[in-house]
């Protein structure tokens, strides 16, 4: 590709799976797109996390935009395989053609308006996006994939809930001030912004002293958040998950928690989340993220094809036909 843009991708998904030793059944896999300004990675994760993750595309020097996503999907022959896609909200917006940045209508399911706070936490009926029309309700492009293929990551929703809850706490409250001592290594900027990762959220939910410092209204919202994390976003959905989510929304309304797009999804599109949401847990995505980061360091500036091949080979290195598989795997990757 031009300049510093480089993409290595799998040109034969079925061949790659054959070399790895398991059948490729697209409905059993999800495409996880991990995009940042440094690199873009596409990896197939098994729904249910029983099989190892399989990277199929890796790009550097790419813009996080519509043209890049379109190209990536074409390279991996997405139309043929049509896997479910897991990604962050920025990539979701690109894939569904919604204008990026602080657009008026950020939701790919309806014409929800983030700025109309007076209508949040009400029964207002937002208009569903039945037809995607360029130039209407913040649509910039026709969607690259149907909305039904997009899976919002449970961990991302969790991070979003905790972020807005923390931001709604008064800065001079004992509970908020205690965050500094609970997370001594976190910067004040991150604490102020409510930016915590999964393990940090677990640490906070288990901290009874923090809960004890909350006012009754805050305590209600915090307890409801913990319940949603466990009973809706966790591995197993509780039978009464709708009540659990409703209680959190009511508690957030009372506490005047600012509604984000993620909270809007729980409020207005609860049916959209798949029943087996727990099977889409980010555990494997996170592990892939760490593993590939280690390999990336070693391959800095060198062939991305070999890097993907090595990662795939590491998946099956314990098998008996190592040399044969190494050759097979190399031939399934190409550069653009």
CB of 132 to Zn ion, least distance (A): 14
Long-range CB contact pairs, 37-44, < 8 A, 24+: 37/64, 39/296, 40/64, 40/68, 40/72, 41/288, 41/292, 42/9, 42/72, 42/76, 43/285, 43/288, 43/292, 44/13, 44/83
* From candidates 112, 165, 176, 288, binder to Zn ion by CB under 5 A: 112
Which C-beta is closer to Zn ion: that of 84 or that of 96? 96
> Closest-CB residue for Zn ion?
107
Q: Quick one: tokens of 104? A: 């008026």
CB of 240 closer than 8 Å to CB of 232: no
Subset of residues 205 to 244 that bind Zn ion, contact rule: CB under 5 A: none
Among 82, 110, 168, 195, binds Zn ion (CB under 5 A): 110
Question: How many residues bind Zn ion, per CB under 5 A?
Answer: 4
Q: How far is the CB of 161 from Zn ion (least distance, A)?
A: 17
Stretch that binds Zn ion, among 111-119, 217-225, 241-249, 298-306 (CB under 5 A): 111-119
Residue number with CB closer to Zn ion (110 or 336): 110
144, 91 contact by CB (below 8 A)? no
Between 262 and 284, whose beta carbon lies closer to Zn ion? 262
Our CB check for Zn ion shows the closer of 7 and 277 to be 277
Closest CA to 272 of 157, 159, 160: 157
C-alpha distances out from residue 13 to 44, 121, 126, 303, 306, Å: 10, 45, 40, 20, 16
Q: Minimum CB separation from Zn ion for residue 86, in Å? A: 19
Q: How far apart are CA 59 and CA 33, in angstroms?
A: 11
Q: Which is nearer to Zn ion, 107 or 233 (CB)?
A: 107
Closer residue to Zn ion, CB minimum distance, 128 or 335: 128
Using the rule CB under 5 A, is 150 a contact of Zn ion? Answer: no
Site membership for Zn ion, residue 107 (CB under 5 A): yes
Binders of Zn ion among 263-322, rule CB under 5 A?
A: none
- Residue 109 interacts with Zn ion (CB under 5 A)? yes
Q: Is 85 in the site for Zn ion (CB under 5 A)?
A: no
Q: How far is the CB of 175 from Zn ion (least distance, A)?
A: 31
Q: If we measure between CA atoms, which residue out of 229, 233, 231, 176 comes closest to residue 201?
A: 229
Give the CA dihedral 276, 282, 288, 289, nearest 10 degrees: 150
| Consecutive H or E run containing 59 | strand 54-60
Positions in the binding site for Zn ion (CB under 5 A): 107, 109-110, 112
């Amino acid at each position: 590709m031009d300049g510093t843009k480089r993409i290595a991708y799998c040109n034969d998904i079925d061949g790659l799976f054959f070399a790895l030793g398991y059948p490729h059944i697209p409905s059993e896999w999800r495409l996880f797109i991990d995009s940042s300004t440094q690199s873009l990675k596409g990896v197939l994760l098994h729904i249910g996390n029983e099989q190892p993750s399989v990277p199929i595309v890796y790009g550097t020097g790419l813009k996080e935009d519509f043209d890049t996503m379109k190209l990536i999907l074409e390279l991996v022959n997405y139309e043929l395989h049509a896997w479910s896609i897991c990604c962050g909200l920025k990539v979701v917006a690109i894939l569904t053609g919604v204008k990026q940045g602080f657009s008026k209508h950020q939701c790919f399911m309806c014409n929800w308006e983030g700025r109309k706070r007076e209508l949040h936490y009400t029964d207002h009926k937002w208009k569903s996006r039945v037809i995607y029309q360029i130039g209407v309700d913040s649509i910039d492009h026709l969607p690259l994939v149907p909305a039904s293929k997009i899976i919002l990551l449970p961990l991302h929703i969790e991070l979003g809930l905790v972020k807005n809850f923390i931001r709604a706490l008064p800065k001079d409250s004992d509970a908020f001030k205690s965050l500094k001592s609970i997370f001594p290594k976190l910067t004040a900027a991150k604490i102020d912004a409510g930016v915590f990762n999964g393990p940090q959220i677990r640490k906070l939910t288990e901290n009874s002293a923090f809960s004890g410092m909350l006012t009754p209204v805050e305590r209600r919202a915090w307890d409801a958040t913990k319940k949603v994390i466990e009973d809706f976003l966790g591995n197993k959905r509780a039978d009464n998950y709708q009540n659990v989510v409703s209680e959190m929304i009511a508690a957030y309304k009372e506490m005047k928690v600012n509604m984000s797009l993620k909270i809007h999804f729980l409020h207005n599109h609860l049916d959209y989340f798949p029943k087996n949401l727990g099977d889409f847990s980010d555990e494997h995505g996170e592990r892939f993220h760490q593993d590939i980061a280690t390999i990336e360091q070693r391959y800095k500036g060198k062939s991305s094809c070999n890097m993907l091949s090595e990662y795939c080979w590491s998946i099956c290195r314990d098998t008996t036909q190592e040399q044969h598989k190494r050759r097979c795997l190399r031939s399934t990757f190409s550069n653009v």
